[in-house]
């Protein structure tokens, strides 16, 4: 089943992934086929859960600061940073225009 260019564009924007090549599109098709299996599961009468541990309380740990003042040390791990923030995802490339993707999809 062919993917609409608009759907592809929306997924790229959400995932910040470039599906421009045939391998990326095939990987996306396989993921969609895998996820479609969920439609076969009968969930009639099953109430939604907000936790897998509904019968137990989840106790949060105390938020005690044991170390600190290590911003510059942590930022040394960043490939790219702006001021005191990590830039994510690293190496993100600009996505092609819709017209360019339409041409690619017609050829694949």
pLDDT single digits (tens) 6-48: 887 888 878 777 777 788 778 888 888 898 998 899 989 988 8
> Sign of dihedral through CA atoms 73, 77, 82, 88?
negative
Contacts of 20 (CB under 8 A, 6+ apart): 96, 100, 101, 104
**Domains of the chain: which residue ranges?**
1-41
pTM: 0.39
pLDDT tens sequence across 56-98: 777 778 877 788 888 888 888 887 888 888 877 644 556 566 6
């Amino acid at each position: 089943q062919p993917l609409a260019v608009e759907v592809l564009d929306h997924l790229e924007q959400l995932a910040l992934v470039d599906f421009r090549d045939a391998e990326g599109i095939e990987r996306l098709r396989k993921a969609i086929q895998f996820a479609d299996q969920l439609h076969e599961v009968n969930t009639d009468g099953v109430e939604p859960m907000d936790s897998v541990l509904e019968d137990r309380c989840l106790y949060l740990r105390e938020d005690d600061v044991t170390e600190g003042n290590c911003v510059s040390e942590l930022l040394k791990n960043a490939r790219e940073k702006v001021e005191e923030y990590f830039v994510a995802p690293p190496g993100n490339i600009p996505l092609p225009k819709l017209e360019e993707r339409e041409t690619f999809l017609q050829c694949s």
